[in-house]
Structure formats: structure tokens, C-alpha cells
Amino acid sequence: MTTPRSTSRDLALIAVFAGIIAVLGLIPAMYPFGQAVPITAQSLGVMLCGAILGPRRGAGAVLLFLALVAIGLPLLAGGRGGLGVFASPTIGYLIGFPVAAWVIGGGVYTAGAPYRIVVGLVAALVGGVLVLNAIGILGMMWRADLSIGAATKAAALFMPGDVIKAVLTALIARGVHAAYPGLLPRRRREPVAAA
């Protein structure tokens, strides 16, 4: 059962992490080789949402961030915002943000407390690199009219940076979970067999 205190805490965490994604948008976006989709630091914020808040709150923080972008706040890297960004080649990545947070959070929260860095790294690599880029590729194919080969080649430019972000996510999440151990559910202890 959800208590009012946990609901208030959840809402506060969701709002704070939506703010973290927005702040990471202040780091200038890079458009390598004239690509239509920029390289930004905001995917690091998405990964942190999942790794620290778990699937439900992590995806909630990302959805709040995207709702603020949709109503016109210029929170995406480069000061972009409004409904128009959802019709651009970045649509796949924007749709992929909450999915990636959910996948990462699901991996970390399934393992439970105490936080294990290997689990966190694998979850961030699967959700933040593989899942996010797979959905991003589909978006580029649709909105930029690229073949799967061309879209995959374009997405390959993001992957080395995404791997670095996944490593940073695992390390940062380890520190946060050490400082705030109540964020992760406790793993059930296996019953000891009677001798």
C-alpha cells in the first residue's frame, strides 16, 4: 500500500530527476558530420533516472521532462522544445528515453539492495545503449527517411559516448545508493535449509 509520505517522496524524486535531465541540456549539443540527431548529455540523465529511481519513478521523471518539452519549454540540448521536436528525426530517441529508464530501472531493482555495480553497468548498457539506440534508429528511418543501414551507421556515432555514460551511470548510482540505501528494495533472503 502506498502511504502519503512515500507518494510525496516519489513525486519529489521524479521532479528532481526531471530537473537533472533538463540541466544536462545546458551542455551544448554536438551535430557530428551534419547529423540530424545531436549528441547530448541528456541520455546520461535518462540512465541515472532508471539506475537510481527504478523503473516506475525513473520513467515517470523522463515522462515529466518530455511533457515540459512538449508544452514548449526549451529544455532539450540546444534550447529546443515544443511539439515540433516530436516530428523531427530525434523522435525515436525521445520515445526511447522513458523506455530506456524503465529497462535500466527494472534491471537494477530486480537485483535489489545492496546495489551491485556489475548489475548496474549491464542494465545501463542494455537500456541506455542497446534499447535507446534501437528505438532511435527506427525514428531516424521514419523521420529522416534513412535506410536501416544508414540509420544504424548514424547511431553508431552515439554508441562510444553512450558506453561512457553507462559506466558513469553505474559509478554514480553506486555512490547514491550507498548514501541513500532505502532507494532500492531489499532482496529476499533465501531460506536456510534445515540440516
Q: Give the residue extent of every domain in the chain.
A: 11-181
76: three-class secondary structure by DSSP = strand
Predicted confidence at residue 28, as pLDDT, reads 83
Predicted confidence at residue 186, as pLDDT, reads 86
Sequence-ordered list of residues with C-beta below 8 angstroms from that of 143, at least 6 positions apart, any chain: 87, 88, 89, 90, 91, 92
Predicted confidence at residue 133, as pLDDT, reads 97
Write out residues in the chain with pLDDT < 70, as ranges.
Answer: 1-5, 33-34, 36, 188-195
In order of 38, 53, 77, the CA distances from 167 in angstroms are 21, 17, 22
pTM of the entire structure?
Answer: 0.90
- Output the CATH code of domain 11-181: 1.10.1760.20
Predicted confidence at residue 39, as pLDDT, reads 82
Predicted confidence at residue 61, as pLDDT, reads 98
Predicted confidence at residue 4, as pLDDT, reads 55
Quick one: which of 94, 24, 103, 28 has its CA closest to 66? 94
Gap between the terminal Cα atoms of the chain: 37
Predicted confidence at residue 52, as pLDDT, reads 98
